[in-house]
Amino acid sequence: MKSPETSSAYREKLNEYLARHDDVDINKAWTLFKIAITQTASTILDRIDRVTHKDWFDAECEQATISKNKTYKRMQQRNTQKALEEYRTARSEEKRVHKQKKKIFIERGLEELECLRGNSESKYSIKN
């Protein structure tokens, strides 16, 4: 709540919500307070979505992970040497795919930075 307007609007809505439920016993007070805070925040404040930082994670990585998870479940259900070996193989394949994709992503980023450095430009602009 960086702006004073948002802060005051949040405070007013919270007080309004709590005033409506003034006759609540002490056992329900904490639950009511939690609900009041979350509902007021959702009405006044904008929801910020999580930023995913795995830009290198694509369909091939997802498929390798799904395959590994399936073999893990099979290994848990059947406690055999074959199931364990299948899981180890799937896990190493998943790690190989992830490392490869991450390496390619990092190399492309470094190439882009080198190009920007050569052009005396910056990837990020400075705002005044």
Kindly state whether residues 40 and 63 are assigned to the same domain: no
Q: Please give the tally of structural domains in the chain.
A: 2
Kindly state whether residues 39 and 66 are assigned to the same domain: no
Higher pLDDT among residues 86 and 125, named by residue? 86
pLDDT given for residue 91 in this prediction: 97
Other C-beta atoms lying within 10 Å of the C-beta of residue 101: 18
pLDDT given for residue 35 in this prediction: 84
Backbone angles phi, psi at 3, to 5 degrees: -90, 145
63: tokens are: 């498929």
pLDDT given for residue 128 in this prediction: 41
pLDDT given for residue 89 in this prediction: 97
pLDDT tens profile 56-113:
899 999 999 999 999 999 999 998 999 999 999 999 999 999 999 999 999 998 988 8
Higher pLDDT among residues 94 and 45, named by residue? 94
How many CA atoms lie less than 13 Å away from 26 in the CB half-sphere? 0
Kindly state whether residues 71 and 101 are assigned to the same domain: yes
Residue 37 belongs to domain spanning: 4-44
Kindly state whether residues 74 and 112 are assigned to the same domain: yes
Kindly state whether residues 25 and 63 are assigned to the same domain: no
pLDDT above 70 (res 123): no
